[in-house]
Amino acid sequence: MSGPVDAIVTGVGAYLPANAVSNSDLEMRVETSDAWIQARTGIRQRHVAADGELTSDLALAAARAALTDAGVDGAELDLIVLATTTPDSTFPATATKVQAALGMTQGAAFDVQAVCAGFIYAVSVAANALAAGQAAKALVIGAETFTRLLDWNDRSTCVLFGDGAGAILLEGRPSNGADRTGVLSSHLHSDGRYYDLLYVDGGPSSTGTTGHVRMQGPEVFKHAVNKLSDAVREALAANDLESGDVDWFVPHQANKRIIDGTAKKLGIDPGRVILTVDRHANTSAASIPLALHQGVADGRIKKGDLVVLEAIGGGLSWGASVIRW
C-alpha cells in the first residue's frame, strides 16, 4: 500500500477464565473485607486462571474471538504485538506461541512489556507498523495471568488484581487524509525514577525467581490521576479535539477512584466512561481491551465514535491513545 494509511479496528475479542473469585472469597484468605475493597477500589470480583491455564491460552482465546469478529483468518496476519507482564516463559515471546496456534507463518510476533500501560504501547507499535507499511493486518493483544505474581499474604496488593485477555485487530486502509479513522495517535511516557513505587521483587537476572508485586499504593494513586489526565489532554490536543468530543473514555481499570478522579479532572461525563473494574479488577495489560470488548458487545461503542484509551503502571510507564472507531 503506498500513501498514507489508517490503522482501523476491524475486530475485538475477549476472554476471561471461568473461575470468578469474590471479595468474600478473599476474606477467607487474608484479613480484609468486601466493604473495604469495594469502598477503596470499586472491585467486587476478579477472574483467576485455572492451574495449567497459561497467558498464551488466554491470549489465544481472545485473539480467535477478535479474528472471528473481523472475519479474518489467522494465516492472513502479518503482525502480532502482545502486551504482557506475565509471559508463559522468560523466552521466547508468548506472542510466538499465539502465532503458531493461529497458523500464521509470515511476518513477526513479539511481546511488549510496559506493565499496566502495555496495551497502549502495543497499539502504538502496531499502528506505527501499519502506517510505515511494515504490516497490513496486526493483532494487538493484552493478556495476563497477573494473579501468579501476587503475594497472597499481602492484603494491600492481592485484592486488586485479576487474570484475563483482550484483543483488537488493526487493518491498514488507504487514508483519505482529512477525515482519518482508526488509531489517530498514541502518546507514550515513562519515568524510571519511580521504579520503587511499583515493581516485582524478582526476575531472571536479579534473583532467578519470578518474584511478587510490591507497591506503594497511595503514591501510585497520586501519580496516576495527574499523569493520566495530562496524557489524555496531550492526546486530544494533538488531534485538535477536546474532552467534550469524547464519545467513550476507556481507561485502564485499576481502581474506580482513579478512573473517577481522572474523568472529573478532564471534564468527561461519568456516563461516557466504560467501567469493568468491578467485575474484572486490575488485569494489567488486558484491562483496556477487555473494557473495549464490553463497550462494543453491549452496543455502546459504535462506528464513528471517538474513543480515548489511557493507562499507567510500573516504571512508571503511562500513555493515551485516541481512536476514531
Residue numbers of the site for ligand ACO (CB under 6 A)?
Answer: 32, 36, 40-41, 116, 155-156, 159-160, 198, 215, 217-218, 220-221, 224, 252, 254-255, 282, 312-313
Tell me which DSSP letter residue 259 carries: H
Coil, helix or strand at residue 169: strand
Q: Residue 213 CB, nearest distance to ligand ACO (Å)?
A: 8
- Cα separation, 260 vs 272, in Å, equals 11
Nearer to ligand ACO, 110 or 221 (CB): 221
Q: Residue 34 CB, nearest distance to ligand ACO (Å)?
A: 10
Q: Residue 71 CB, nearest distance to ligand ACO (Å)?
A: 34
**Which residues touch 196 (CB under 8 Å, ≥6 apart)?**
216
The catalytic residues are: 116, 252, 282
Contact 181, 16 (CB under 8 A): no
Q: Residue 7 CB, nearest distance to ligand ACO (Å)?
A: 25
Coil, helix or strand at residue 305: coil
Nearer to ligand ACO, 208 or 218 (CB): 218
- Judged on CB neighbours under 10 Å (0-12, 13-18, 19+), 49 is buried
| Helices 217-238 + 256-266 axis angle, to 10 | 40
- The angle subtended at Cα 308 by Cα 254 and Cα 150, nearest 5°, is 20
For the record, the C-alpha cell of 53 comes out as 491455564
Q: Phi, psi at residue 128, to the nearest 5°? A: -65, -40
Q: Residue 323 CB, nearest distance to ligand ACO (Å)?
A: 21
Q: Which residue is nearest to ligand ACO (CB)?
A: 217
Nearer to ligand ACO, 156 or 185 (CB): 156
Q: Residue 300 CB, nearest distance to ligand ACO (Å)?
A: 23
Nearer to ligand ACO, 5 or 286 (CB): 286
For the record, the C-alpha cell of 167 comes out as 484483543
Nearer to ligand ACO, 312 or 322 (CB): 312
Cβ-count burial 178-198 (b if 16+ within 10 Å, e if not): eebbbbbbbbbbbeeebeebb
Say if strands 79-83 and 45-48 run parallel, antiparallel, or are unpaired: unpaired
Nearer to ligand ACO, 219 or 247 (CB): 219
